[in-house]
Structure 1
Amino acid sequence: MSMMTKRLVSVLAAASMLLTMASTSAQGVTPPAVGTQAPAVTPKNTAPGAVREIDWDELLPPDARARFAAAPPAAVHDYLGEGGMAAQQVMDFSINKALEGANIKIPGFIVPLDVGKDGLVTEFFLVPYFGACIHVPPPPPNQIVYVRMAKGVALDSIYEAYWITGRMKTSNKTTRLGAAAYQLDANKVEIYKY
């Protein structure tokens, strides 16, 4: 793809997001600040084969979780935590292998990748904070989930956090907006209730 074509695609993507934001703003929805984290999950006991609620740190392999738990926090003045965990693992495709084939439910923000003529989103990235892949650099691949939904979903707002439920796969997917170390075949999308 030529540099001019890449720039045109980038400009069109930005224009599309601005139109979506303007439309949502007109509907009275206030967007969260860029970098707003997805809500934390309270773990629940689940039976084998049942849907398990997970949080974003569970996407990291156990050794990475231990390493980051022992590290000092990013400086308070550090914009969007650029010295924090996400910045320290740029392009990290390491995964939590225990999630392969698991039925999971995870909260996050949707970055649409494919919108059909009917307006339904059938492919999207699920990310841990608002603005990821659009307004700020993307999180590391092991903090992005590529989601496919055969039926598609009509998004009320890209500013909302959503619960996504489905079967997790540990395989990579790269698009112009970022790279994901996980794929989720979703069967349910619902707005996160704060």
Structure 2
Amino acid sequence: MKTQLPLTRRQFGCLALATAALPRMAFAMPFQDLTWEELIPPGVPYSEIIGEGALDEKNDTWNPIFDENATKLNTALDGASVKLPGYIVPLEIGAEGVSAFILAPYTGACIHVPPPPANQLVYVTSQTPWPLDKLLDAIWVYGRLNARLQSTEIAEIGYEIVAHKIELYDW
């Protein structure tokens, strides 16, 4: 019968250091620059995600009617570490700033006009709130993208990211 020897202090120390470095190495992966068009599945033209629409005369707004392509997601990107530009539509605002928001491809989306289709919106949460005085600025959001349809009072959303980092978009 073989007996197992306990780890030496040196072996234990090396194992502990290696284990502690794993989460940092996972975040050290490069972030893939992503465009909004890439959120639409391959083979689905942008022109096919927005169908006919109807005028809401009471509220004086145009309501697009999305077809089934509007909720089709690019599942090949599920779990990818990405960097995506966009604009903030705030959902959770506190004294420190915005900690949950919808990332939209253009300014004013979901607020002054009907929202874009679900595959053109990303639900973002962040441990570090984004400053209130920079809400109108274009930003980059870095994080792991998850393809997951969800509904809010504002819009249907196709993706989500827990932000690793948010920064101003550099023109």
- TM-score, with structure 1 as normaliser: 0.61
Partner of 1:63: 43
The alignment's C-alpha RMSD in Å is 2.4
* Residues 125 and 161 in structure 2, CA contact (< 8 A), matched pair in contact too: yes
Which residue of structure 1 lines up, in the alignment, with residue 83 of structure 2?
105
Counterpart in 2 of 1:127? 104
Alpha-carbon distance in 1 for matches of 2:161, 2:126: 9
Counterpart Cα distance in 2 of 1:154 and 1:91: 35
Q: Distance in 2 between matches of 1:161 and 1:90?
A: 29
**Structure 1 match to 2:74:** 96
Instruction: Give the aligned partner of residue 7 of structure 1.
Output: none
Contact 1:59 1:95 in 2 (8 A): yes
| Unmatched segments (≥5 aa) in structure 2 | 1-28, 49-61
Q: Distance in 1 between matches of 2:105 and 2:132?
A: 17
Task: State the shift of 1:145 in Å.
Answer: 0.2
Q: Tell me, in whole angstroms, the C-alpha distance in 1 between the residues paired with 2:42 and 2:69.
A: 18
Instruction: Give the structure 2 partner of residue 151 of structure 1.
Output: 128
Q: Name the CA shift for 1:68/1:113 in 2 (closer, same or farther; >3 Å).
A: closer
Aligned residues: 130
Letter in 2 for 1:178: A
> Structure 2 length normalisation: TM-score?
0.68
* 1:19 paired residue number: none
Q: 2-side partners of 1:107 and 1:89: how far apart?
A: 25
Report the AA paired with residue 169 of structure 2. Y
**Residue of structure 1 equivalent to 2:146:** 169
- Contact 1:90 1:140 (8 Å CA) reproduced: no
**Higher gyration radius (CA):** 2
For 1:1-194, what aligned pairs fall within 5 Å after superposition? 49-64=29-44, 67-68=45-46, 89=67, 92-116=70-94, 118-194=95-171
2:141 is paired with a residue of what secondary structure?
strand
Preserved contact between residue 142 and residue 165 of structure 2 (Cα < 8 Å): yes
CA drift at 1:90? 7.5
- For 1:57, what is the secondary structure of its paired residue? helix
